[in-house]
Structure 1
Amino acid sequence: MRVKLALFLIILLIAIPHISAVDTSDWIELTVNNVDFKIPDKYFNESKGKNHIKSYRYSNQFAIISCVDYNTLKEEYGSESTSEGIVDITQTSVSGHDLIHIYNDYKSRWDTTGWNKSSVFFSTGTKIFKITFKGDKITNEIKEIIKNTPKSKMSEETFITKLDNAQRDYLTEEYNKNLELDLEDYYRTYNDEHDRGHFYYWGTNGFGVGGTHRY
């Protein structure tokens, strides 16, 4: 009896990798910003072609975005990591690729079903990419996509530092934008209430005073 049980466990252990393995035989190869990807056929749109400079998008179901440019990384990671509706942010790795997984299920008065959207920022070679997809978990399918990209040459510390800097700079810019808008609203209201032949405004060089001439 013990021998049969042992044989059963051995067969089960051998079979598990094959059961969980993802069949990529019909996947499509495409290139985004000089990095080769393989994606499931269901996400491929022939009209979009197989070569993409900065991003590949398949409606709102799936996207691959190059975050090589710092401004892109700042906008993509900064907005994603500070967005309303974030349920979970997790740091992990897939086949040697460090990554941050963000799950967002934002709901509003107009859309109570929620976004149910995940974003994964990961390192490949010396670059950072973002993949978005529906669902709250990194599926074997998404792991396989990441696994098939070039091996990461970026240390975990460098990867996290780049993301932290991008988030910090994004928040700083958003704060300054909101400050400018608040000041514009204040002085617009002040000008409306105190029409004395001059007005205050906020420009690229800071505050300014303008004059009105009446004829």
Structure 2
Amino acid sequence: MNKKIIFLACVIGIALLSVSYISAESDVDTSDWVNITVNDINFQIPPEYGGGRNASGDYLFNNVFTFGLVALENNKSFRNNYGYEATNEENYDVEEMEIDGHHAVAYYSNRSIVNHTVTYLYFESNGTFYALSYDGDDVNSSMKKIVSYSPKSKLSKEEFNEKLNKAQEEYIEDQIEQEEAYQYEQAYREGYNQGRSDSRGGELLGYYFFYKLGQRSRY
């Protein structure tokens, strides 16, 4: 008898936790929230972020470290934006989550440029990735509510992760190529300026143009 009571108590406790979690997000008061449109999707945001710059593909209040919502509409913007944040040395934590039918991942960092914590929340909606960034160290109910206004994820969780991993790998590869191209260019210029534009200098310049051509071919 006691075992049955304990079991029922555990089940009820889990159910209450689930209800509390759902209520925490659904109970957000959005009566005074501000309407914005990003990538033809209508979002609502808390009033403290209202009055920012709203373009077709993004919304910014002050700057991306205060509040920003950006649609990463093509592979290049997605790779550069996500790749940079995923490899940022100032990150101190990363968290995967599901938000009302959206796959999402959050990066938390202490940004020296603004001297405060910044959260970058990446989520996918109907095949398009978005970056929601703001001054804060968690993904609270208000931020989850913003995400919930967009159409649900089109990708599976596996496809979502594959896209993220590929973007990060390509970003790292691109950074390595740019650094190598820069080193080749500097070596050539140094040799040329010293009056030593010999065959080695020409070879280095050839490598430089090769890397630049390789970069353009991927865009």
Does the aligned pair in 1 maintain the 2:24–2:141 contact within 8 Å? no
Q: Letter of the aligned partner of 1:150 in structure 2? A: P
Does the aligned pair in 2 maintain the 1:95–1:147 contact within 8 Å? yes
Corresponding residue SS for 1:151: coil
Query: Kindly, what percent of the aligned residue pairs are identical?
Result: 26
- Does 2:31 align with 1:25? yes
Larger radius of gyration: 1
Q: Letter of the aligned partner of 2:210 in structure 1? A: G
Please give the TM-score of this superposition, normalised by the length of structure 2. 0.76
Where does residue 5 of structure 1 map in the other structure?
A: none
Please give the TM-score of this superposition, normalised by the length of structure 1. 0.77
Corresponding residue SS for 1:202: helix
Whole-angstrom distance in 2 between the partners of 1:153 and 1:162 = 12
Does the aligned pair in 2 maintain the 1:84–1:106 contact within 8 Å? no
Structure 1, unmatched stretches of 5+, are 1-8, 208-215
- Does 2:205 align with 1:205? no
- Say if 1:185 and 1:205 are closer, same or farther in 2 by CA, change over 3 A: closer
Whole-angstrom distance in 2 between the partners of 1:165 and 1:117 = 24
Corresponding residue SS for 1:116: strand
Where does residue 92 of structure 2 map in the other structure?
A: 87
Return the offset for 1:138.
Answer: 0.4
Q: Letter of the aligned partner of 1:116 in structure 2? A: T
Whole-angstrom distance in 1 between the partners of 2:197 and 2:154 = 62
- Greater per-residue helix proportion: 2
Which moved further from structure 2: 19-28 or 52-61?
19-28
Return the offset for 1:124.
Answer: 1.5
* Superposition RMSD in Å: 2.9
Where does residue 57 of structure 1 map in the other structure?
A: 60
Structure 2 counterpart of 1:66, from 31, 54, 71 = 71
Corresponding residue SS for 1:22: coil
